[in-house]
Amino acid sequence: MLEAGKRHPGYSWLDEQHVDGLDEVSAAQWMEQLEEYRAALDEHVRQLDAWKRDRLIRMRALSAAQRQLAQARVAESTGLTLGGAIPAAVAAAAAAYEQAAAEAAQLSDKPAAPRKPRRPKKGTAATGSRVLQPHGTNACRARGCDRPECIEAGRAYYREWLANRRRQKIPAEIHGSAYGYQLGCHDRDACPAEISCADASLAEERRRRRAAGIPEQAPRVPADPVREHVRALMAAGMALYTIATTAEVSMSGLKTLLYGRSGARKGEYPTTIEQRKAERVLALPLPHTRAKTA
């Protein structure tokens, strides 16, 4: 049930179509496809109106049952029974609400709009419907099919393509560029160019990040001296929380530094740390240990 004065956008799209620039055969086929789309669109609008009416009826019934149940609950909260009339009304309202909710849940999905036909290119005759490749092929996987045989076909196609690309020799003029790295030149020592493809790829990635407004990563230093200093501070009596607050670093960062990462990389110790954080932690002096009293 479309709103008054509101047309389906598919009709507006139909009004904009024309046959200018097409040959006679293509124009005839294009007009036939448009007529088929118009018929499918008319049927879709009818189905959409019926779906909206059905949805409105069910939602109104659910809302009315919900209000009736709320009123019965209010009457029940007074503690009166009126000879069992109030409990019976609550039970009836609850049953009506459950039935309305079940009917609302059974509402079918919104009808999908028909697919718009593809206009033939200028000067070419429109072809018939394309023949789709069967399951178990890379073409079927490329369409988004998630069946196991299609997934395996896509993997096999990629392995074959990758092996074929590696067999091909990279032209000399490509070496020393990010494209050479994409073609498989990953070894800095084996690259014949003055600037290796790996370094060129890193430089291009930095340039792309700077152009996108991503700031440069802060300088980093080895994490082992910082880790040993934190352990020495803790052995001297400083709590990890005190170290974090005094050095103005995060507790989670210190825990990762001391005990390793979590998740898929559990137990892996970070090898580097930001230089400014390392300087603040290393600047903390060891606390003076108090002499033990007898």
Both 226 and 171 in a single domain? no
d(CA 279, CA 222): 12
Both 79 and 17 in a single domain? yes
- pLDDT for the residue 16: 74
Q: Confirm whether 53 is domain-assigned.
A: yes
Both 51 and 88 in a single domain? yes
Give the pLDDT confidence of 244-274 residue by residue, as tens digits: 999 999 999 999 999 998 888 888 999 999 9
Both 142 and 77 in a single domain? no
Length in residues, the chain: 294
- pLDDT for the residue 126: 46
How sure is the predictor about 239, in pLDDT bands with cuts at 50, 70 and 90? very high
Both 226 and 189 in a single domain? no
Q: Confirm whether 48 is domain-assigned.
A: yes
pLDDT over 60 (residue 124): no
Give the pLDDT confidence of 33-90 residue by residue, as tens digits: 888 888 888 888 888 888 888 888 888 888 888 888 888 888 778 777 777 788 888 8
Residues in CB range of 50: below 8 A, 6 or more apart: none
How sure is the predictor about 291, in pLDDT bands with cuts at 50, 70 and 90? very low
- 78 or 291: which carries more pLDDT confidence? 78
- pLDDT for the residue 208: 93
How sure is the predictor about 294, in pLDDT bands with cuts at 50, 70 and 90? very low
Q: Confirm whether 237 is domain-assigned.
A: yes
Both 151 and 75 in a single domain? no
Q: Confirm whether 188 is domain-assigned.
A: yes
Both 203 and 244 in a single domain? no
d(CA 229, CA 83): 79
Q: Confirm whether 180 is domain-assigned.
A: yes
Both 194 and 170 in a single domain? yes
CA–CA–CA angle 194, 196, 201 (5° rounding): 135
Give the pLDDT confidence of 142-201 residue by residue, as tens digits: 988 898 999 999 999 999 988 887 777 888 889 999 999 988 888 889 899 999 999 999
Q: Confirm whether 130 is domain-assigned.
A: no
Amino acid in position 197:
C
- In terms of Cβ atoms closer than 10 Å to its own Cβ (0-12, 13-18, 19+), residue 249 is buried
Q: Which of 158, 183, 211 is the last residue of a domain?
A: 211
Q: Confirm whether 120 is domain-assigned.
A: no
Both 226 and 207 in a single domain? no
Domain containing 169: what range? 138-211
Both 101 and 13 in a single domain? yes
Instruction: Give the residue-averaged pLDDT of 218-237.
Output: 93
Q: Which of 211, 231, 250 is the last residue of a domain?
A: 211
- pLDDT for the residue 111: 83
Both 72 and 24 in a single domain? yes
Work out how many domains the chain is built from and give that number. Answer: 3
- pLDDT for the residue 101: 85
In this predicted structure, which of 5-19, 74-88, 96-110 has the lowest mean pLDDT?
Answer: 5-19
d(CA 282, CA 229): 7
d(CA 189, CA 194): 10
Q: Which of 211, 233, 253 is the last residue of a domain?
A: 211
C-alpha closest to that of 186 among 165, 207, 206? 165
Query: Which stretches of the chain are DSSP H helices?
Result: 9-15, 24-77, 85-105, 138-142, 148-167, 178-182, 197-211, 224-235, 240-247, 251-259, 275-282
pLDDT over 60 (residue 277): yes
- pLDDT for the residue 30: 80
Q: Confirm whether 229 is domain-assigned.
A: yes
- pLDDT for the residue 290: 40
Both 187 and 242 in a single domain? no
